[in-house]
Amino acid sequence: MVRRLVVAVVVTALAGSAASADCLKANTPDQHAEGKLVSLRITIEAYRLKEQAYILQLRAPACLEGTDDYDKVEKTQRIHVFSMDEAMRKRMRGLVGKNVRVTGNAFGEHTAHHHAPIVMSISTIDRL
């Protein structure tokens, strides 16, 4: 009986370690995520502003680890992806509705312009 309890505790601890190993690391380049890319039109009432946002609907839940409170996300199915590069934005527009893999720098949502718990400035996007 004690042996089974020890085995159960070890298995649980290892599962917890594996889960935390899969988290994105905040403010670290070359993080990866996969899912379906969608485009949303969002109204921010406080600013009387309309924004377009690209949201990656994840295949599997993701988490984020970081030092700031907003960089600690336990579980989400969405990442707000963006790029300041016009060529990358054009590529994103062409991949809306498709399954993609993105690479970039992730951080936690902390302004009214962030539209998912995790936000990622992407450097690459590829169709799956």
Domains and CATH numbers, the chain: 24-127 (2.40.50)
**Hey, is 70 helix, strand or coil?**
helix
d(CA 72, CA 58): 18
d(CA 115, CA 76): 12
CA distances from 46 to 24, 42, 49, 50, 54 (A): 31, 12, 8, 11, 21
Q: What is the pLDDT of residues 41-58, one digit of tens each?
A: 988 787 788 889 999 999
User: According to DSSP H, which parts of 27-121 are helical?
Assistant: 86-94
pTM above 0.75, yes or no: yes
Minimum mean pLDDT range among 8-12, 90-94, 115-119: 8-12
Neighbours of 25 (CB within 10 A): 15
